[in-house]
Amino acid sequence: MQEKTLEGGIHAALVCSHAYRCNGLLWAARREALLAANFSMKNYESLYEYPKLALFSAIQMSSLELELGRIAPFIAWYQLSWYLITHLRSMQIDIGNLEEDMKKQELVLGCFLLKLNSDDLKTLANLQNGLDDVNLPMARFALLYGLDDIDTLINEGPEDWSIHREKLDEFFNSWKAQLASEEIPNSLAGQTHSYCEFKTTIMGVTYRLKSKNSFGTIAFAEDLLSSIEAALARARWENLAFIIDEIEILVDSSLEGKNPPVLNLEEPYDPNGYKFIWKPDLLDWMSGTHGKQINDYVREFFFKLLLDITIDPIEDLKQEFESWAKEGAFNRAFSFLPTINALKNVIGESNYEIEYWSHPTPSSEI
């Protein structure tokens, strides 16, 4: 019975992920897919409890990370997807056209790389060997073209490229102009710098989040955005009247920080946005803290957020909160601890860094 319940939960998470994605809520979709991946790969020793569901989850994760323009997480999930494909082949399990989906993802990654400006591309120069190692040879060609390394392309590419330079340019210009290039970002958003930048827009409000480029702060930032999306996805316009159209949020860590950062519901809204300054060991704190405590903390922040950016009476907001609670919206919206643990269990901390994939022969932690 427990096994059937777990399998049903995995299916439910994948369905939720698809629904969120269809509504443009990529961060909420990502979390549901991550939870599905974690539960479907719960038993590593037996080479995964539900390997086919694990593959669906991993492909959904790599696709979402690609749509969000996040290179290192995409590569990690892409590599895991190919590992699962190989495993399913060995079990003679039919995987349909999923291999074709993987090849399409590589083409989309190539579009992304071709869209980047020269400064962003230079920060990825060491990634070319890593792309080859994880079965992304065409994406490596796109990176080389963006870096203007024409000699390598002529030496390694089709014979036409060495004879007719215009054929080479025509190929990459055509690739760059594909429809898929409209569906992905056109910058690295700080992925190779000290701070990353994420954003989401829902109900007319854009949330811009700047996070220190470390695993713990990024994991919190991801879940914060997905919680905002998931909670507001069930909201009713008639009960919310927003007076601010852009919100800035900083997620950082320092020795002066606190686990968790202090929230004061009575403080007026700060036009400079919200600051979550954690201690450097925030990841250990989250892993060792009861999930309800973390979820209650984020729910409290969400309530303050609505108080700050709407003109609705507090009684109306309480009524809306109660309605969401009855519908079970908060149960899925604020599920921090399982998500962060899922990232640690399935992907690992180092795989979240572009530098990890820039090594000539990265060794997988999966």
The DSSP code for 237 is G
Rounded to whole angstroms, the Cα distance separating 114 from 144 reads 9
Element (H, E) at 285: helix 282-287
The pLDDT score that the predictor gives to residue 46 is: 45
Backbone angles phi, psi at 104, to 5 degrees: -65, -35
Contact 124, 136 (CB under 8 A): no
DSSP-assigned beta bridge partners for residue 199: 208
Q: One-letter amino acid identity for 329?
A: A
Contact 86, 129 (CB under 8 A): no
Rounded to whole angstroms, the Cα distance separating 174 from 169 reads 8
* Among 152, 160, 75, 80, residue whose Cα is nearest residue 113: 75
How many residues does the structure list for the chain?
Answer: 366
What average pLDDT does the structure give for the chain?
86
- Positive or negative, the CA dihedral 247, 251, 257, 261 is positive
Fold of 2-183: 1.25.40
pTM: predicted TM-score of the whole model, two decimal places: 0.90
**Structure tokens that stand for 273 in this block:** 């946005």
**Structure tokens that stand for 61 in this block:** 């994760």
**Structure tokens that stand for 207 in this block:** 């949330």
Rounded to whole angstroms, the Cα distance separating 198 from 218 reads 10
Per-block mean pLDDT, blocks of 10 residues, the chain (366 long): 73 94 94 90 59 93 95 94 91 87 92 92 92 92 94 89 86 82 81 95 94 93 91 74 92 95 86 94 82 82 88 75 67 66 79 84 47
Contact 146, 113 (CB under 8 A): yes
- Positive or negative, the CA dihedral 293, 321, 313, 309 is positive
Rounded to whole angstroms, the Cα distance separating 334 from 230 reads 8
Domain boundaries, the chain: 2-183, 195-334
What Å distances lie between residue 114 and 19, 127, 191, CA to CA? 30, 14, 17
The DSSP code for 242 is B
Helices (H), 157-214: 159-163, 165-176
Residue with tokens 């109306």: 316
* Among 251, 248, 275, 279, residue whose Cα is nearest residue 263: 275
Beta strand 205-212 pairing with 195-202: antiparallel
Helices 2-22 and 26-40: angle between axes, nearest 10 degrees: 160
Contact 352, 283 (CB under 8 A): no
The DSSP code for 44 is G
Residue with tokens 């919310």: 240
Rounded to whole angstroms, the Cα distance separating 1 from 160 reads 60
The pLDDT score that the predictor gives to residue 333 is: 64
- Cβ within 8 Å of residue 114, ≥6 positions away: 142, 145, 146, 172, 175, 176, 181
* Structure confidence by residue, pLDDT tens digits, 201-255: 998 999 999 999 999 999 899 989 998 998 888 776 666 788 899 999 999 999 9
The pLDDT score that the predictor gives to residue 152 is: 92
